[in-house]
Each structure stands twice: as structure tokens, then as C-alpha cells.
Amino acid sequence: PPPPMPSGDCVLSFVIDGDSVRCADGREIRLLSIDAPEIAQEPWGARARDELLRVAPVGTTLGVEYDAVRVDTFDRDLAYLFLPGGDMLNEHMVASGYALAFVIPPNRRYADRIEAAEAAAEAEGRGLWAEWGFTCRPADFRQGRC
């Protein structure tokens, strides 16, 4: 993969949902290569948001790393976020079962890790994969397909 493009830190000021946060400097960051349920996708959206807040409470300083495309069509930064101990938040959300892998080329730096994390979470019944009746992928929910 291309070398990382660090961009300083994000002091977490607000968790929008399980894959989007706001930093104290005003940036809104969409976590790359993952897709968490929307808040309206009850009860899973709130559970995903709560898991992100559990591991990265407001005030946490997160490392920020960009990939090939840095901004989306909604003017949000697209980034991998790293917890103070070095673990990748994007990967954690998928490994814990509260988000799905959602890799959009050319942003593929950690695609293999994130896709493997989803397979393990599903196989082990973690998070959304537990017996909560989760059957509608977030992308399908946004399109009104379920």
C-alpha cells in the first residue's frame, strides 16, 4: 500500500454515529472503509454509536491518517482514526461487530484487515451479528430497500 499520510490529530468533540465524528477543530470525519448503521436504523445505529463512544469518549485525541481520496461529496474528511494506544478505530468498529466493511477504491490501504475483521465478527456472532435480527446492511437502508 502507499505510505500513510498522517494529518495530525482529532480531538473528538462529538460522535455523529458509528462511522462519523466531529473534531474540536470543526472537521467532520467519515471513517474510511467501514459502514455503520444509521441512527434511524433502530436499534443498531445507537448501538454502533455507543460502541464508538465507549472506546473513544469525547475528548479523546485520535490520530488521523488519510488515503488516496481525502474528502467525500459531503465535504467530510475521509480517514482512518487511531486510538491513543495505536489501535485503528475503523478496524475496531468492524471487529467488534458494530460496523461492516465498506471499501471504496482507491481508498484500500487497510481493506484486507478490515474485511478480515468483518468475517471474524460475523463468524463469531459479535455486535450486530449477534441475535438482534440485523438483516439490513446500512447501504441498503439508506436506499430504502429494507
Residue 3 has pLDDT above 80, yes or no: no
- How do residues 23-77 score in pLDDT, each as one tens digit? 999 999 999 999 999 998 888 899 999 999 999 999 999 999 999 999 999 999 9
Question: What pLDDT score was predicted for residue 8?
Answer: 79
Per cent of the chain over pLDDT 70 is 93
CA distance 107 to 4: 12
pLDDT average, residue stretch 99-112: 97
- How do residues 22-34 score in pLDDT, each as one tens digit? 999 999 999 999 9
Q: Which domains does the chain have, with CATH numbers?
A: 5-132 (2.40.50.90)
Query: Confidence class of residue 134 from pLDDT cuts 50, 70 and 90?
Result: confident
pLDDT average, residue stretch 105-128: 96
